[in-house]
Structure 1
């Protein structure tokens, strides 16, 4: 594996693939930046680097679509693959397998170093202001400019026993304050609540443009008690280097582009949102959230601020959250001893669907177990995971389907999922941003989830073979046809 240690190494790697586009003309952070990045996603164009942002100090740059689908031919997941140390041509199954397998490795804890590039500029007091940075209004209808869409929030429990690195959206209030989602079920809420309980504001550090693996892992729904820093070390085979913050007792990646330090209030006094979100809509509701007060900013020379613009698939929420949730689900199913081969959260379904693939010989591994029984076991494991607040639908399929192939998956779902039978219904917590539920269900943050048993019956129960080139014809016929195809 190749560990890209900072955002600039990552951007150089994209440039070599032809997947980076430098924009030197003046671009307005008010909607125009967001419009460019949205069109990048929707046309699978190279990731844009904005060098000339209206209203920003010279040298302050913005990098868009850092985890979107790549424009490199035959390498659609290159941005994610490179971020986690794989080759650019790694496919969906390889990425999910790599992330899941890393959960079984011994963590390699971060190491503290004396200094790093993020300390090239240290702004304290009144100088620590967002006004000098390009904070964009991303969607028409957003509640304000968004400071954080791809950065990592570092927080630690008051007793110092657990440090969490996570991603949550953060909106600018003014040059010295911000507000953002702190939702039940998230680890940042778990940490914040402990500070609330002792009546003290929570120290935080917001990291922009760290090692490219950082936002990928920060978006993973790791189990309670698992720290992202150690997981990253185990994934990459070496520790990530951290430096001490200036004003709070937290440590951040030494190669980060920008770090914002301060405290998060114990009261929910600020109106946050709305914001265009992963379901593909701009919701109308707002939320009362705590306030981030800024006390220090450190940054590299000519800093680069990475930004994503959520909306209709496919953007970073779908790639990162989809891959990470699939990997976490796969790891949990394997830990339970179930005969599964992979899991996949289709990007085009806006993470509203998880598909689990079952090994061809599962009946030999579980003699006497019916398809319904196996589906129930898979359901029980998956819906014990934290990430299922974003998964209203789970489908269990045989592994003859390439679930990362949208056309093949759509065919399988249409022909193997019974319209009304072979399903499990369960009421469970949901993320209120899920678009498929009623307003009442979203306000209650609870609704029904469904799991479909779409497994083939046994051969002696009427299983029908697939009528396709790959499955219907003898190998020698396939080879002959391919050998003469250009004729």
Structure 2
């Protein structure tokens, strides 16, 4: 019921829940579609589905905000939950646990199917016909360096020796109808794979996938360990292999239900200028950088393809909603593997996933005898400082699990009353993501800086902890019962 093999069945499920809004008037892919998507995201409206796109063949469509927060009352993470194969009612903690459990299962590699059974092979464009000109490539923000081919798709690449196939999300900008460029950062997995081809002086084969199984880009946003394959992880997550089909011009395999697949090769040198582009941190900086050049060799697509578009920027949007649970799950798995008692982890989405919150059970002292709160927090910081996922968040708060970290009211109350202004914190030097604006310019340049862990744990039960001043704790049980009974009678 919750397993959607392609973008179309996923959108149909959202539409049945009232979370899709058809836009039937003609809309331009140049800024207008992204502006509507951005507005929809900021106001938490249903996902816009553009049925009439200017400048392309009739039937070509665009889908905005495919994994942003949902408009369904009480279920803001519905799109994320459905993308990961859960019911739309799944909570933040349930989504994180689902992802953690899949990490411990046996990987389930993709299953190759015949080209005749792959919807993405309904149309095959080779040579001069393999042109971006026939597709609605969105210009997302007015000051972007160009239209962006990839805002919600995955780039598939493989190491030269074939040992590791990586599915990565990374932005890609159109240069002309046959060329693109995009971020290939050394610290990210795509950059690590590309570096091996660079060392050989050979272009890297690639496939860029738009649309298809909604879990593909959602999993592509998760910082799995180096060498782990997203396709096999998604199989374990869903309990079934992902159907894939071989590319036309290289030996990579792509999800068979994709809307559009762009094949080609990536130069072994950084000979193109990429950017600027407003990003997940919420700021529209004017930065550019030298990046490799993607050359297009072939394009395959479904009949009447749907092109997904994400208008990244100030949170919360698709840049945060799926990656927050994904990073949280990786951190939770690492901490539990280290034998540390942790209830759950969460990245507050409104903080652009720059914060990490870790909650621990009230009986953690029984599991770690002779360890005080500072010692426990230090152990957490040590484990996280050696983990790629653990260093993705500049600031971490360790709290008792009497609060729900995905509930902003709970979280703000806890942060405001339990975090010491200057004490009970420890910093850990190491690699950082080189585009977090909270860091100094020299830190961003070097890729190294500090992450901090705040010890915001309460005293032990019976050892100085006071009850919260809430309905359930500061009134007698019989009075509470009368109040609740009166409410029920009025209802």
Using the size of structure 1 for normalisation, the TM-score is 0.98
Q: Deviation of residue 459 (structure 1)? A: 4.0
2:267 matches 1:265: yes
Please show how residues 25-424 of structure 1 align to structure 2 within 5 Å: 25-115=25-115, 116-424=118-426
The CA distance in 1 between the partners of 2:156 and 2:479, in whole Å, is 57
Native 8 Å contact 2:331 2:390 kept in 1 = no
SS at match of 2:321: helix
The CA distance in 2 between the partners of 1:239 and 1:23, in whole Å, is 34
Native 8 Å contact 1:185 1:386 kept in 2 = no
Number of the residue aligned with 2:14: 14
The CA distance in 1 between the partners of 2:440 and 2:146, in whole Å, is 26
Q: Deviation of residue 38 (structure 1)? A: 0.8
Gaps of 5+ in 1: none
Q: Deviation of residue 473 (structure 1)? A: 4.1
The CA distance in 2 between the partners of 1:329 and 1:119, in whole Å, is 38
**1:88–1:249: structure 2 CA closer, same or farther, 3 Å change rule?**
same
Q: Which range moved further: 66-75 or 12-21? A: 66-75
Q: Deviation of residue 107 (structure 1)? A: 0.9
**1:195–1:60: structure 2 CA closer, same or farther, 3 Å change rule?**
same
Native 8 Å contact 2:346 2:356 kept in 1 = yes
The CA distance in 2 between the partners of 1:444 and 1:284, in whole Å, is 19
2:456 matches 1:469: no
Using the size of structure 2 for normalisation, the TM-score is 0.97
SS at match of 1:317: coil
Q: Deviation of residue 23 (structure 1)? A: 0.7
The CA distance in 2 between the partners of 1:215 and 1:369, in whole Å, is 41
Q: Deviation of residue 121 (structure 1)? A: 0.1
Q: Which range moved further: 369-378 or 429-438? A: 429-438
Number of the residue aligned with 1:438: 440
**Partner residue of 2:455 out of 439, 453, 456:** 453
Q: Deviation of residue 32 (structure 1)? A: 1.2
Q: Deviation of residue 460 (structure 1)? A: 5.4
Native 8 Å contact 1:390 1:434 kept in 2 = no
Q: Which range moved further: 452-461 or 349-358? A: 452-461
How many residue pairs were aligned?
Answer: 487
Q: Deviation of residue 333 (structure 1)? A: 0.9
How large is the RMSD of aligned CA atoms in angstroms?
Answer: 1.3
Gaps of 5+ in 2: none
Native 8 Å contact 2:144 2:275 kept in 1 = yes
SS at match of 1:293: strand
Native 8 Å contact 1:177 1:293 kept in 2 = yes
**1:468–1:268: structure 2 CA closer, same or farther, 3 Å change rule?**
same
Q: Deviation of residue 477 (structure 1)? A: 4.5
**1:241–1:480: structure 2 CA closer, same or farther, 3 Å change rule?**
farther
Native 8 Å contact 1:360 1:399 kept in 2 = yes
The CA distance in 2 between the partners of 1:317 and 1:380, in whole Å, is 28
Q: Which range moved further: 376-385 or 239-248? A: 376-385
The CA distance in 2 between the partners of 1:151 and 1:70, in whole Å, is 20
The CA distance in 2 between the partners of 1:85 and 1:234, in whole Å, is 11
Q: Which range moved further: 256-265 or 182-191? A: 182-191
**1:132–1:95: structure 2 CA closer, same or farther, 3 Å change rule?**
same
SS at match of 1:458: coil
The CA distance in 1 between the partners of 2:301 and 2:284, in whole Å, is 32
